Structure 1
């Protein structure tokens, strides 16, 4: 058995006892896992309301957190449970630095975030795929797609990216696992029926750009509103993009660029200049630029910047209702929000 690391008090636990669901979100495990641990290893809450409802105290949660750390290091669950029970951590005090993620050097730099975000990060670091999947589905069901993306999913993706950038080749597996399950969760979102014969919205990453999750989130959010989407994913070649615009006659074309190296301004101007439709009734698509890669450079004619998922969906919905001419710059714009990975 591996040595038991010293118990450090959790940094974000309230004094009041919590439900199983709340504890699961904070620790990044599924409620089913907590109930399984209680049944198999007797590592459960000391308190129940009305003999049925579990209520986890600070001491209970401290034991669970130690068990999570041990299992993340490869200790078998039965041994981790015994070690957590034998340690019997004292009740942690609520600290002023509650925004800092506990967990030592393997934790992700999250800052002030929702508890669900912290739990999702812990599950991702442990490579606990079932917990990641369940936590994503719970966040989407509870908060809705846009809020879950901007306040839970995107902050966790950003934290994984920062950790990977600062740790060399480590944590790439965490990023890949989390990205896969985020993508899967987004594709499970039900599309609402839309108006027939409505021009679609074309979504694509510019050539050389492989980060497609933000476009997948936008596709899912537009689908929820019944707006037709043509999603082309990462690194769409320029010729294929031009052909897709001509063939579909889209209401808008959204181009994602994650970095300045992929932000192709000549491509934007060429797409904005494409005409489609029958002779005598030609039309142009609005071109919307999304992603941090477009942060620098002049504003191109007939283009608009998107700064967040919520405001981006609102702007596209306005275009769909009003026609293909973009509103005046800034007319449907919010403060920059989490809209990328």
Structure 2
């Protein structure tokens, strides 16, 4: 018998799983459920994956991360392996296989990701899978793609926020098991939103929009999404972030002369109306003709009837941006008493 006969070549399942950033159980479940297995089968329980097999699994990961349902992704991945399998020199070349089908149109998807997402866009499903796998590179790529194609507002409302809410619900029902998923996803989302907020040129003159959380509020991601949305329009803004003291808000209004002040509150416990009234009464400009900024109450913490004269309470990110657009297109200034 030739010395190489019976030699098992290729990479074992465990090594392939580590390379892909998934568990060996996931790779085995793909074989069991969708038939995505090594092309060359040998006896015994151990699988060995050739370079073409590994490329097929990488394509499977890429497609599922992008939101393609696993069964559909498996068919496309196996077709891609056929198209790149080298032919034997004594055999006629196989006809070229058609390229894998493009990603599905923007439709709602219910494919499983391990998170309670419901019916969402495929991009949302892909972002959830990447987060559960703790795949930072895939998270960055998906965020860049969806924000580049749809802009930060749609990306936030239809992809990012639903995924963050699903991670939060999963965390709430499993103790601390998904804390690392939530923290990793939040960090990458914040990075993407801040990048979007600092790369758009200003196209308007005038006072900026002040973005700040109430003095006891720590949640900043929705406010960062608003900052990215404002930057997309070229409107100036100043982001002060979490837990801004009332004195600091008062001083910033007097120093900057803002067109609007957006105050974020995530819960009823952080919705401090005394701070709102103080900011609304803070004017700037010449004595006798002081101008007061529009005060915008953003976030679910504010009660529906919280807004008073000179204030607005938008129901979402898109409505907040629309309200700010009216401020910049108004010709008449807003004078305080």
Give the structure-1-normalised TM-score: 0.69
Correspondence 1:224-235 to 2 at 5 A: 224-235=232-243
Partner of 1:318: 326
The answer on whether the counterparts of 2:131 and 2:181 sit within 8 Å (CA) in structure 1 is yes
**2:306 counterpart of 1:309:** no
CA spacing shift, 1:251–1:173, aligned 2, 3 Å: same
Partner of 2:54: none
**2:112 counterpart of 1:102:** yes
Partner of 1:15: none
Give the structure-2-normalised TM-score: 0.70
Partner of 1:126: 133
| 1:46 positional shift | 4.6
| 1:314 positional shift | 1.3
Relative CO higher for 1 or 2, CA cutoff 8 Å, sep ≥ 6?
1
Of 169, 179, 190, 1:172 maps to: 179
Distance in 1 of aligned mates of 2:250 and 2:299: 20
The answer on whether the counterparts of 1:48 and 1:55 sit within 8 Å (CA) in structure 2 is no
Aligned residue for 1:217, secondary structure, equals helix
| 1:54 positional shift | 3.5
The answer on whether the counterparts of 1:100 and 1:109 sit within 8 Å (CA) in structure 2 is no
Of 45, 56, 65, 2:80 maps to: 45
Distance in 2 of aligned mates of 1:128 and 1:44: 25
Correspondence 1:156-195 to 2 at 5 A: 156-189=163-196, 190-195=199-204
The answer on whether the counterparts of 1:47 and 1:54 sit within 8 Å (CA) in structure 2 is no
Give aligned pairs, total.
265
The answer on whether the counterparts of 2:109 and 2:122 sit within 8 Å (CA) in structure 1 is no
Correspondence 1:322-333 to 2 at 5 A: 322=330, 323=332, 325=334
The answer on whether the counterparts of 1:200 and 1:252 sit within 8 Å (CA) in structure 2 is yes
Of 268, 277, 282, 1:274 maps to: 282
Q: Which moved more, 1:47-56 or 1:138-147?
A: 47-56
Aligned residue for 2:80, secondary structure, equals coil
CA spacing shift, 1:109–1:23, aligned 2, 3 Å: closer
Aligned residue for 2:115, secondary structure, equals coil
1:110-153 deviations in whole A, cap 9, x for unaligned?
A: 11110000000011011111111111101111222211111111
Partner of 1:26: 67
Aligned residue for 1:170, secondary structure, equals coil
Distance in 2 of aligned mates of 1:174 and 1:53: 37
1:185-222 deviations in whole A, cap 9, x for unaligned?
A: 112222122234x1111000111111101111111111
RMSD of aligned Cα (Å): 3.3
